[in-house]
Amino acid sequence: MWRVPTDIPQVAVPNGLKLAEVTMDTPLDEVFKHWKESGAVILKNILTPAEASQITTELESCLDSIQRGSLVPHPDLSAFHGPKTKRAGDLINHSATFREQILENDFIHAICKRCFSEGGHNGDYWLSTASTLNASGPQPPQVLHRDLTSYPPYAQLGPEGTEAKISFLFAFSDFREDNGATRIIPGSNKWPFHQRGNMKQTIPAEMKKGDCLLIGGKVIHGMGENKTETERKCIQLTVVPSFLTPSEAQPFIIKLETVKKLSKRAQRFVGFRSQYPRGSPGLWTKDYIDLALHLGLDDFQVMQTMDMGNGSGPGTRVKFRKVATLIERMYVVAEQQDNEIVEDEEDEVEKHSIIRFWQSSWH
């Protein structure tokens, strides 16, 4: 039932538009307008050239240990991964600049939060993939595809459904048509999923070093042919709703000592805190309370000051008032249309932790 039919006549056409370019100062309404129109938008100057070079330097030891091409001896996977492409994970442990400038980037998180909150979506998100896509040439183009096929049930939702996956493709060298710039069929995000398109309908997403290509899971795309002898350098950051299984098992990859250097928002993003999709009592927990308590990322003063005997101590009253206030705020936020964005990320994380502990203690 999850398969997309392959015997349907191919009649869909691109929208004929060039990919729009925006900056971190562009209002989100405008960013999303362009993104939804074509399925992709270029985010200019997310990194400075110096920051991009620094990340490249910090990842040298990681990249040196990775072979080009797929590690799996399967012809389809080998072709999809690219015979001359280096796909290295474990970036977060190796690059402080990656953590500071990408993982903690407010603009990136604002896009994710809006995408996974609007239209009745789950309201929470986490990291699926953080890896290099460094493609040397000459190398043939990647097969065109939609990223949502990683999660087959989403194929049944059609183009009007919510996003299963979004990706930020950061250029660590200039992206040109001749060196394998990602190719997009603009507007294919609005096509029925049985329309697969062809390479002649694509356009190259050409970018300068430090730019980023944002694509949704519905748009048809693929890595372009690298006709040169040089390497097209890229890092992909892929994000999914937090009720879906990520492509990479970040909690088994990232060291706890590295995670302790991150903000609470970033800790939750990489799976070291519990997830709270809309309507869920909590996912990715330990003993039905936030994972951060089990990992020692929170000392959690509620646990230290509450008198679990008769509940009459002064610490209990102070903390209970805080719990009650935060629970009240939770219901107010939940009643707002489309689960409006909560501005204070740190307080939101604390809110979830306190509420889950309160629920597990008194219910």
Rounded Cα–Cα distance for residues 306 and 72 (Å):
53
User: How many structural domains are present in the chain?
Assistant: 2
Q: What is the pLDDT of residue 348?
A: 56
SS3 content of the chain, % helix, strand, coil (to 5): 35, 15, 45
Single out the residue in 214, 248, 282 at which a domain terminates. Answer: 248
User: Does the structure show a pLDDT above 50 at 47?
Assistant: yes
Domain assignment of residue 102, yes or no:
yes
**In contact, 204 and 177? CB cutoff 8 Å:** yes
User: Does the structure show a pLDDT above 50 at 283?
Assistant: yes
Rounded Cα–Cα distance for residues 276 and 125 (Å):
9
Domain assignment of residue 297, yes or no:
yes
Q: What is the pLDDT of residue 351?
A: 53
User: Does the structure show a pLDDT above 60 at 341?
Assistant: no
Picking from 114, 103, 132, 33, the residue whose alpha carbon sits closest to that of residue 264 is: 103
3 state DSSP class of 80: helix
Picking from 205, 216, 176, 240, the residue whose alpha carbon sits closest to that of residue 42 is: 205
**CA torsion angle for 329, 330, 334, 338 (degrees, to 10)?**
80
Mean pLDDT of 10-31: 98
Q: Which of 94-103, 209-218, 314-323, 344-353 has the lowest mean pLDDT?
A: 314-323
Q: Kindly tell me the sign of the dihedral angle through the C-alpha atoms of 88, 89, 91, 93.
A: negative
pLDDT tens digits, one per residue of 52-107:
999 999 999 999 888 887 777 777 776 777 778 999 999 999 999 999 999 999 99
Mean pLDDT of 166-191: 98
Question: How many CB atoms lie under 10 A from the CB of residue 283?
Answer: 14
Q: What is the pLDDT of residue 273?
A: 97
What does pLDDT average to over the chain? 86
User: Does the structure show a pLDDT above 80 at 320?
Assistant: no
Q: What is the pLDDT of residue 361?
A: 38
**In contact, 104 and 263? CB cutoff 8 Å:** yes
What is the domain extent for residue 343? 291-362
One domain, residues 216 and 106: yes
Domain assignment of residue 167, yes or no:
yes
User: Does the structure show a pLDDT above 70 at 33?
Assistant: yes
Of the two residues 83 and 170, the one the predictor is more confident about is 170
One domain, residues 79 and 161: yes
Mean pLDDT of 213-221: 99
Domain assignment of residue 316, yes or no:
yes
User: Does the structure show a pLDDT above 60 at 355?
Assistant: no
Q: What is the pLDDT of residue 6?
A: 85
**In contact, 107 and 177? CB cutoff 8 Å:** no
One domain, residues 158 and 62: yes
One domain, residues 198 and 331: no
Task: List Cβ neighbours of 6 (8 Å cut-off, separation of 6 or more).
Answer: 194
